[in-house]
Each structure stands twice: as structure tokens, then as C-alpha cells.
Amino acid sequence: MREIIQNIKYPGFILKCDEELILDSGKSLDKFEIAYQTYGKLNVDKSNAILVCHALTGDQFPAEKNPITKKIGWWDLMIGPGKTIDTEKYFVICSNVLGGCVGTTGPNEISPKTNKIYGIDFPTITIQDMVKVQKILIDELKIKKLLSVIGGSMGSMQVLQWAASYPESLRSIVSIAGALKHSAQNIAFDEAGRQSIMLDPNWRKGNYLSENTKPENGLSVARMIAHITYLSDAAFQKKFGRNLQEKKDLSFGFDIDFQVESYLRYQGKSFVDRFDANSYLYMTRAMDYFDVSEQVIKNKKSIISNKIRFLVVSFTSDWLFPTKESRGIVSLLNSIGSLVSSAEVESDRGHDSFLLDEPQLFKITTGFLKGIKS
């Protein structure tokens, strides 16, 4: 049985699914919930729906004010009336991913089997599992074909998985700052972050919530490590250089001397207040396992027959998901004869460029979406 209800804890909606969900690992969830938000109106023939997929630390609130953090949504620059993803034209859907910590079933939720918090007993998940749950949501909304599926970073992984798994259910794909698979370097950064969490004494073997504690130091360091990869050297230099933090001289100690140190510590501390440590473990692992190349080749006939149009965008200064990774996506799509356009956006702000005010990105995406028949 499936039922859509108002989400009281996290304003928006929840799809409650009283059914078994078989995961890639072979394990399953007896019941699960999908937290989501929508913007705009669905037209009569349900042909104007766009699914937006969030990145690692995102949530289901990409636009307007986030009801939890009270900050502007992570993609408010892209989504809204008159913007690139125009909510006066399109019906926009965004769900918190499986394994997340903002209402969708994840390690910080209660297990129906034990009536206790899942913690580390939550089964390992993949990007394909996340997309499988999104497809259940789209089916429940009775949308047969999405106008587009759009996402950056981990969102791009979901986008590409949609094309591989459900090509009959979409008209177009916008992959931004993504890759066909996680590189060894990215897996290494993820592992460093996970180890910082698991080596925190307050992690308690994943049982910190039931023991009323939190691995704040470990999660903070994990966020600091990751955040370094989101910016470019030029962005760090332009924003901070070697400027001292509210002082004239070096302390010759290990307190904060430089502005960049203060910035990273702030990023770590603020992240601890809004994100679950176990979710971070599960979601980074899902990214590490991601490799969609063979699935795309296997389903090439369906991708071609459904005439899916692809837009692949990268940024010149992104060293986490560099342009060569996007070229790999384009090369694979060209090899199977798909309809693909690509663009490299000039930016000195690194991987986070896809979340920032980048007019060229907006212009390219706006034009692409206008060319898709609703």
C-alpha cells in the first residue's frame, strides 16, 4: 500500500510505502518513506514535470527558503518563477534520497522490525537504489514521462542512472559536474572522511543517536575535507589568500591564524548541526560504488528509441569532477548514437560552480530545456 501525506516534521510531502524494497546488495527494507517537495503546477497531460536530484549534502528543498535551516534553498538561483527551471512553466519535484537524513528512510530513522533507530544496521545502498525509490514516487504521482531529470555532482550520478534504468520514462537529461563513475581519488577523499567519523569516540559503532551523543568532531573534519575539494585553488586564493583572522601577527600555536582556517572550521561546525553522520557514511559509499557505463551500453537501444536528449555540463576549474569526466560521458553517449550536447563553462570557483551564480550555466540550460517538447 502507498499513501501520500503531509510531512509534519519536514514541511512538504511524504510517500509512505508499505511494501518490500529489494536493494542492490540483496538486502531489503520492509517499509520505507520518501520525503519530497514540489514547486509549480502539473499541467493537464502531466508533460511538464522535471525531477531535480540533489548532491551529497543537499535535501528536498532546492528553492525558496528552507523550512529547516531557514536559509535560501541550495538551487534557488536555478529554480523559481522566470528562472532557468521556471516554475511558471514546469512542475518541479525534488526528493530526499534514500539513506538521507531529511525525512526519507535512512540510518537515522526507526526500523519497523526493531522499533529502534537503524544506525549502522541500515543496509548499504547504491545510487541505483536511490533512483529506484524516485521512480516509485514518480509512478505514484502518475507521471508517465518526465520532461527532464536534472542534477549536479551526486545529483548527476542519479540523472545518469535514470537514463540507464528508466529511459522510457524521460525525455531529457541534464548532467552537471558529474562522471560515469567515481575516480580513485574521489574514493580516497570519501574514505578519509568516513574514517574521521568512525574514529570519533562518540560514533559509538554507529549507535550514537540511541546513546544520545554525536560524533561532532569526526563529522566536522569530514566536511572540512570534502569542502576543500569543492573549491578551486584560485577560489581559495581570491577569497582568503594568506590573510590572518582578526589579528596582525602569527600566534605561533595551533589556534586559528588564517581566515581560511576559520572558514573551514565554520563549515564543519555548521554541517554538524544539520546532517547525520551515518547518512554521510552511506551516501559517500553509494557514490564510491557508482559506475553506470555498462548499464548505459546494455540499455542503448531503449535510450536511442526513446530519443532522450542529453546535456552534459562541466566547469573549467572543477578538479573533483573535471571536464575529462564529462567528456567520458559524452564519448560513451556518442558511441551508442544518442542525442547529446555538451558545454564547458568558464569558472574559477571549482566544483561548487554548479550551485553558484554562473550566468553561462543558466543560459545553456534554459536554452536546452526550451528545445524539449513538453
pLDDT tens for 43-94 read 999 999 999 999 999 999 999 999 999 999 999 999 999 999 999 999 999 9
pTM value is 0.97
Look at residues 78, 89, 87, 91 and name the one whose alpha carbon lies nearest to residue 143.
91
The pLDDT assigned to 247 comes to 87
pLDDT at 297 over 70: yes
The pLDDT assigned to 10 comes to 87
pLDDT tens for 334-363 read 999 999 999 999 999 999 999 999 999 999
Cell numbers that stand for 10 in this block: 519536514
pLDDT tens for 321-332 read 999 999 999 999
> In this structure, which amino acid lies at residue 27?
K
Residues classed as catalytic:
153, 318, 351
Phi/psi for 36 (5° steps) reads: -150, 165
Sign for the CA dihedral angle at 80, 82, 84, 86 comes to positive
pLDDT at 374 over 60: no
Phi/psi for 370 (5° steps) reads: -65, -25
Q: What structural domains does the chain harbor?
A: 2-183+291-370 (3.40.50.1820), 186-284 (1.10.1740.110)
pLDDT tens for 15-43 read 999 999 999 999 999 999 999 999 999 99
Distance of CA 43 to the CA centre of its chain: 27
Which parts of 231-306 fold into alpha helices (H)? Answer: 233-239, 259-272, 277-289, 293-298, 300-305
